[in-house]
Structure 1
Amino acid sequence: MACTSGKIKNYTVPSEFEKQEYIWLSWVESGFLGGEPFYTTIVQAIKEIHPYVKVKILYGPQLQYDSAQLHKKIIDALVKEKIDTGNVELFYNEKAFGAIQDPGPVFLRNQNGELAIADFKYNHPDKRSQQIDQNVAKQMSLPMISSSMVSEGGAWQTNGNGTMILVESVELDRNKKMNKKQIEDEYKKVLGVTKIIWLRNGLKEEEWGKMENGIYGIGTGGHIDEFCRFVNDTTILLAAIDVKDTVGNIVSKESFERMEHNFSILNHSKTADGKSLRIIRLPAGPLLTKKLLYGKLSNDEKSWFDDLSSDSVEFYLATGYMNFVIANEVVVTARFWKQGLPYEIRQRDEKAREILEKAFQGRMIVQIDCMPLHHDGAGLHCHSRNQPVKK
């Protein structure tokens, strides 16, 4: 049985660029805000990932399907795409959930190679979604280290060697009764990190609510996995906004200023073992929007919009190349160009790929269509979880 204990010692959080045993992905039959069903992207991700690392699919009853029916539907879909189901396992949860990066299992490991799960609080109206990590710990018979602090997996990055990067606007918003020192202490206790680097804000278009230009944000609210990621112990990828994109665009201008401020912080920071960071700039995704009739939205979709001034709503899609999954020998990220779109978007896709190939030398870079997930204010990393190998 899984146990909850604050006295379990010597567990630390591994990095995502280390050897992984599984990549967890979520299976959701529906889409959001006019997007295609999430699973259409997940199937393509599995095709690219499963030759290099085993995959676990978190699923639950949804739409007209019960557990057994959906289990069969998933397997049939994988077989149709010629995916080796021997490298894929299905994990049942009482409630389906898309962006499992946030409430999903945070795997810890000790020096003996034993795994545990960090169980943070997650704000969600459905208790079954709050308890995904607890369910995983129970079914895998893993111990848990629990915390009452709210933490969303996509909101932080670690290098597996003691260094953690947090975003001030996110952490203080989710934990309004805690200060930065208290938040630091809790992460150090639960995850075994020893050095915290604080960035101030994420991308402007990732914020929630109506912006000055009348367009809404539905993104992550500032999660770091949209703009800053570890490549290795000392190398960081940081989003770059092209100066020409800021002309006459108050949103891009604000994002530019925020990313340059983050660059300055990282440029003057050191890792837990005193090493300077190497910073590689990766182009931000194209700033794309979608417009829908408000009256045709579901109640859940409508909850993202207030202060309406017309019968339609326009919102930013959570585009970007930073929301990638590192799956051993392959890194899977997004592409945006399609027939009929401006050639500049194709050039941006190609530039992002080239930079990622140089950053992740020895790994293959694959770009897939993640647009269904961007309609969810998310990306591929948001809909995934890494499970490290046992050493």
Structure 2
Amino acid sequence: MLFSCKEENDNTAFYYPAEWESHQAIYIGWGYEAEWKREAWPFIIDIVYALNGTTPIIFLSDTSENVQVLKDFLLNKNISPDDYEFISLPMNNPMAPRDIGPVYLLNGRGEKKVVDFKWAAQEAYKEFLIARGIEASKAAEYASFLERNQKVDSILAIKNGHEVISSCLTLDGGAIEVNGKGTILLNEYWMLKYNNGIPKDSIENELRRTLNVSNFVWVGKGLMEDPPDIATIIPGYFGAGTDGHTDEYIRFANATTILLAWVDENERDKHPINKGNYERLNETFQILKQAKDQNGQPFNIIKLPLPDLIYRPVVVVEGWATSDTTVGISLFTASDGYKVGDTITQVAASSYLNFLVSNDKVLLPTYLHVGGSKEKEEEVKRIFTKLYPDKDLVWIDAMKYNWEGGGIHCFTKQVPLSTNFRKN
């Protein structure tokens, strides 16, 4: 497999910029037709208010969505739609631009390219259906509606005149965490599972070719409350998630600092999910203590507290549909042992690591309104204030999206500013 061997100070070499580098705009997903999409509108408005006047916003929606509905909604909130761009694309579920949106590359000349990775959800949904008794060909047919999302990144790239680099790798945007200097963090379990049959050295070679990274830090599994699709976590408890995207548990804060979600030892034995998370995160912590950056230097590792577990009782009902109080039995496997009428517990994918760094603000989730620990949130505030002294911290209620397995970072996607120049 071929890849570029250009010197790092060669301004023609493309690289994947870190999130804290300047943004030209931020994509926000918007949906109207489904009820759960409309319920996310207050969350959208909070993000718009947070970014207003500092970072341009581009709304992405399905071609079936009525953009005028969103414009009217913005007007009702005293927000002028004339200040924003609206793009409709042939895609399903526009609410997750992080994972399906373009992976932009920049070079020192201000030129842009886009990498078109495969999106994991289509194959994952097919396997989800097979595990629940759907015949394989039928499962593939049912999952085919997600095919349209596989080219969202390429369509946006071509629309803006950017060259597209096609890749054989499956790599969702929420699973890409780089420091902009050549180092990438990779969830080994996730990468090998969703790139079944591709060995680690081939994955590394392809990431060298596409993202121009040179230093690979393979870390442990993600959070237990971030399972694949909808799945039982421990008996009687289930969650919805991505199966371990890095933006739920491990992030770069700057080129030398890694934030790692953490469960303290005094909380480890309070709940089986806490214990499981402690074991997973401690495995990654031990890896990070031995890891080096692209220059051979150790990382500064900061443990960021996980919110207290957030969960709610739901009743098992017939079918596939879910609500705030019910869940369809067809979403589970026979081995889960649930029966219609059972009350089981849903756990939210809550994490302070699902944050967004914008040009002059950091958007963070808050959990105080649902009984979260004030002491933990104060600790998170202290850490981020120190890390980003020149940026305002904006706290947003992301719970509606947490129940669906996402958060602020998933809901957004930055477009890097083309005038950036790589600093070595």
Instruction: Give the TM-score, by structure 1 length.
Output: 0.89
**Structure 1 counterpart SS, 2:100:** coil
Match of 1:26 among 24, 29, 37: 29
**Structure 2 counterpart SS, 1:219:** strand
* Residue 273 (structure 1) shift: 2.1
Matches within 5 A, 1:320-359: 320-338=351-369, 341-342=370-371, 345-359=373-387
Q: Which residue does the alignment assign to 2:8?
A: none
Could you tell me how far apart the structure 1 residues matched to 2:273 and 2:351 are? 15
Taking every aligned residue pair, what percent have the same amino acid on both sides? 28
* Residue 36 (structure 1) shift: 6.9
Task: Tell whether the 8 Å contact from 1:286 to 1:320 is kept in structure 2 after alignment.
Answer: no
Match of 2:108 among 100, 108, 111: 111
* Residue 298 (structure 1) shift: 4.3
Could you tell me how far apart the structure 1 residues matched to 2:354 and 2:294 are? 25
- 2:414 aligned with 1:386, yes or no? yes
- 2:64 aligned with 1:37, yes or no? no
Task: Tell whether the 8 Å contact from 1:38 to 1:98 is kept in structure 2 after alignment.
Answer: no
Q: Which residue does the alignment assign to 2:179?
A: 159
Q: Which residue does the alignment assign to 1:195?
A: 215
Q: Which residue does the alignment assign to 1:309?
A: 338
Match of 2:52 among 43, 50, 63: 50
* Residue 85 (structure 1) shift: 3.7
Task: Tell whether the 8 Å contact from 2:309 to 2:347 is kept in structure 1 after alignment.
Answer: yes
Quickly say closer, same or farther: Cα 1:354–1:323, change in 2 above 3 A. Answer: same
Range with greater deviation from structure 2 (362-371 or 131-140): 131-140
Could you tell me how far apart the structure 1 residues matched to 2:35 and 2:379 are? 29
Match of 1:178 among 184, 189, 198: 198
* Residue 379 (structure 1) shift: 0.7
Paired amino acid for 2:62: G
* Residue 87 (structure 1) shift: 4.0
Q: Which residue does the alignment assign to 1:11?
A: 14
Quickly say closer, same or farther: Cα 1:298–1:40, change in 2 above 3 A. Answer: farther
Q: Which residue does the alignment assign to 2:263?
A: 241
Matches within 5 A, 1:257-276: 257-276=279-298
Could you tell me how far apart the structure 2 residues matched to 1:354 and 1:80 are? 36
* Residue 205 (structure 1) shift: 1.9
Could you tell me how far apart the structure 2 residues matched to 1:87 and 1:318 are? 33
* Residue 51 (structure 1) shift: 2.1
Q: Which residue does the alignment assign to 2:149?
A: 129
Could you tell me how far apart the structure 1 residues matched to 2:331 and 2:320 are? 11
Could you tell me how far apart the structure 2 residues matched to 1:304 and 1:235 are? 39
- 2:318 aligned with 1:318, yes or no? no
Could you tell me how far apart the structure 1 residues matched to 2:195 and 2:331 are? 21
Could you tell me how far apart the structure 1 residues matched to 2:319 and 2:23 are? 39
* Residue 376 (structure 1) shift: 1.2
* Residue 132 (structure 1) shift: 1.0
* Residue 349 (structure 1) shift: 2.6
Match of 1:78 among 45, 54, 74: 74
Instruction: Give the TM-score, by structure 2 length.
Output: 0.83
Deviations along 1:339-371, whole A, 9 cap, x unmatched? xx54x5333333322221112221111111011
Q: Tell me how many residue pairs correspond in the alignment.
A: 376
Could you tell me how far apart the structure 2 residues matched to 1:114 and 1:153 are? 21
Task: Tell whether the 8 Å contact from 1:36 to 1:372 is kept in structure 2 after alignment.
Answer: no
Could you tell me how far apart the structure 2 residues matched to 1:184 and 1:276 are? 21
Task: Tell whether the 8 Å contact from 1:285 to 1:320 is kept in structure 2 after alignment.
Answer: yes
Could you tell me how far apart the structure 1 residues matched to 2:260 and 2:184 are? 15
Task: Tell whether the 8 Å contact from 1:23 to 1:385 is kept in structure 2 after alignment.
Answer: yes
Q: Which residue does the alignment assign to 1:3?
A: none
Q: Report the aligned-residue RMSD.
A: 2.4
Could you tell me how far apart the structure 1 residues matched to 2:155 and 2:315 are? 38
Could you tell me how far apart the structure 1 residues matched to 2:85 and 2:205 are? 36
Deviations along 1:146-188, whole A, 9 cap, x unmatched? 1121111111200111110000111011011111111111111
Range with greater deviation from structure 2 (37-46 or 190-199): 37-46
Paired amino acid for 1:74: L
Task: Return 5+ residue gaps in structure 2 as ranges.
Answer: 5-11, 123-142, 420-424
* Residue 336 (structure 1) shift: 1.4
Could you tell me how far apart the structure 1 residues matched to 2:297 and 2:388 are? 20
Task: Tell whether the 8 Å contact from 1:156 to 1:167 is kept in structure 2 after alignment.
Answer: no
